[in-house]
Amino acid sequence: MFDFNYFTPTKVIFGKNTENRVAELVKEFGGKKLLIHYGGGSVVRSGLLKRVTDSLDAAGIGYVLLGGAVPNPHLGLVYEGIELCRKENVDFLLAVGGGSAIDSAKAIGYGVANEGDVWDFYDYKRKAKACLPLGVILTIAATGSEMSDSSVITKEEGLVKRGYSSDYCRPKFAIMNPELTMTLPDYQTACGCTDIMMHTMERYFTNGGNMEITDAIAEGLLRTVKKNALILRDDPKNYEARAEVMWAGSLSHNGLTGCGNDGGDWMTHKLEHELGGLYDVAHGAGLAAVWGSWARYVYKNCLPRFKKFALNVMEVEDSGSDEEIAIRGIEALEDFYRSIGMPTNLRELGVEPTEEELKDMAKKCAIGVGGEMGSAKVLNEEAMLAIYRASV
């Protein structure tokens, strides 16, 4: 077991109609002039944005609006948001939406609170010293950005998708009403469940410092999401299942399922980020498409963990060699992905990269991780290329 810091300062307001408390929460955290940031319009169509602005109007809180954060949110809109905040003297950000709106808001917050080009942080050139305070009203259970320290932005020039992490951007509050997720397309619900499971799996498949209590939480979370993803596939309006998945999404990426280990593997995410940057695929689907190839490439180097996962999460038959059990677990997760409509390779994801494009992604991925990375197995550019090739 390794030493660890556990820092989750976000105040969570969970349950039905909780969005009605937005003005009270903004006041509690000192917001006087807000930038309300949202995505492509789902919050307009659902009427949520109107309910939010009505509450703020009634409480006398000023705001400006900026929509348009796309999945794999763009740097261009971040620059626009920074300028708008400066012009309007915004002192608090409110993201209404999913990971894309939240991450874009976090980037705007860094840009306003620090001098210079905000991309420098995502390009690992320097570190942020502050971020504007941020609140969230979550509409999709997926990224965990509502409690996480990360933000992922795509620079249009060169299609480079990069994440930046620091505690400064952890939201002050997160309003989570599972009912708000009921308007999601089934595909997005499934992508969200996949991403939630991956955030715990990235922390689970490691070769360092694992703790029994962390494993028990992680395995319980994974079984819960797996079970409720199937319930939502058949019954998308099931409130209890929506709630289980939504809370799991936050716990999966607020640090809880990594306490005591070496920080996790994270290579499936890094491999996906190149796909998201280049082909603009949904994050969860991209993860599902490369996971199997990653797992088959690394499992022998992390066999006890793959065996434990197979038995305790996928609940496969406990017979044969450790390798056979591990492979059975990998296959069982792929079967699960298919059962919720997720791809298990790039073709099913809908992309057909050329050999040159595979090489380009492997190169960019290696640069993005500073050469090599991974805990289940350390991967270099050659290994990344082998995994991309196997996932075609």
The least distance separating ligand NZQ from the CB of residue 284, rounded to whole angstroms, comes to: 6
- The answer to the question of residue 39 lying near ligand NZQ (CB under 6 A) is yes
143 contacts 249 by C-beta, under 8 angstroms: yes
Which string of x and - marks every residue 340-359 that binds ligand NZQ (by CB under 6 A)? --------------------
Between 151 and 214, name the residue whose CB sits nearer to ligand NZQ: 151
Out of 131, 136, 137, 140, the only residue in the binding site for ligand NZQ (CB under 6 A) is 140
- Applying CB under 6 A, which part among 37-45, 110-118, 224-232, 296-304 lies near ligand NZQ? 37-45
Out of 144, 171, 178, 329, the only residue in the binding site for ligand NZQ (CB under 6 A) is 144
Between 201 and 310, name the residue whose CB sits nearer to ligand NZQ: 201
The least distance separating ligand NZQ from the CB of residue 279, rounded to whole angstroms, comes to: 13
What is the SS3 assignment for the chain? CCCCCCCCCCEEEECCCHHHHHHHHHHHCCCCEEEEEECCCHHHHCCHHHHHHHHHHHHCCEEEEECCCCCCCEHHHHHHHHHHHHHHCCCEEEEEECHHHHHHHHHHHHHHHCCCCCHHHHCCCCCCCCCCCEEEEECCCCCCCCCCCEEEEEECCCCEEEEEECHHHCCCEEEECHHHHHHCCHHHHHHHHHHHHHHHHHHHCCCCCCCHHHHHHHHHHHHHHHHHHHHHHHCCCCHHHHHHHHHHHHHHHCCHHHCCCCCCCCHHHHHHHHHHHHHCCCHHHHHHHHHHHHHHHHHHHHHHHHHHHHHHCCCCCCCCCHHHHHHHHHHHHHHHHHHCCCCCCHHHHCCCCCHHHHHHHHHHHHHHCCCCECCCCCECHHHHHHHHHHCC
- Applying CB under 5 A, which part among 192-200, 212-220, 225-233, 289-297 lies near Zn ion? 192-200
Which string of x and - marks every residue 281-300 that binds ligand NZQ (by CB under 6 A)? --x-----------------
The least distance separating ligand NZQ from the CB of residue 50, rounded to whole angstroms, comes to: 14
Out of 40, 62, 220, 341, the only residue in the binding site for ligand NZQ (CB under 6 A) is 40
Look at residue 206 and give the partner it binds from Zn ion, ligand NZQ, none, a contact being a CB closer than 5 to 8 Å depending on partner kind. Answer: none
- The answer to the question of residue 195 lying near Zn ion (CB under 5 A) is yes
Out of 104, 139, 224, 261, the only residue in the binding site for ligand NZQ (CB under 6 A) is 139
Between 5 and 354, name the residue whose CB sits nearer to ligand NZQ: 5
Count residues near ligand NZQ (CB under 6 A): 35
The least distance separating ligand NZQ from the CB of residue 94, rounded to whole angstroms, comes to: 14
Side-chain half-sphere CA neighbours of 315 within 13 A: 8
The least distance separating ligand NZQ from the CB of residue 37, rounded to whole angstroms, comes to: 11
Give the other-Cβ count within 10 Å of 62's Cβ.
Answer: 14
- Applying CB under 6 A, which part among 9-17, 66-74, 221-229, 342-350 lies near ligand NZQ? 66-74
- The answer to the question of residue 248 lying near ligand NZQ (CB under 6 A) is no
Between 82 and 201, name the residue whose CB sits nearer to Zn ion: 201
The least distance separating Zn ion from the CB of residue 102, rounded to whole angstroms, comes to: 13
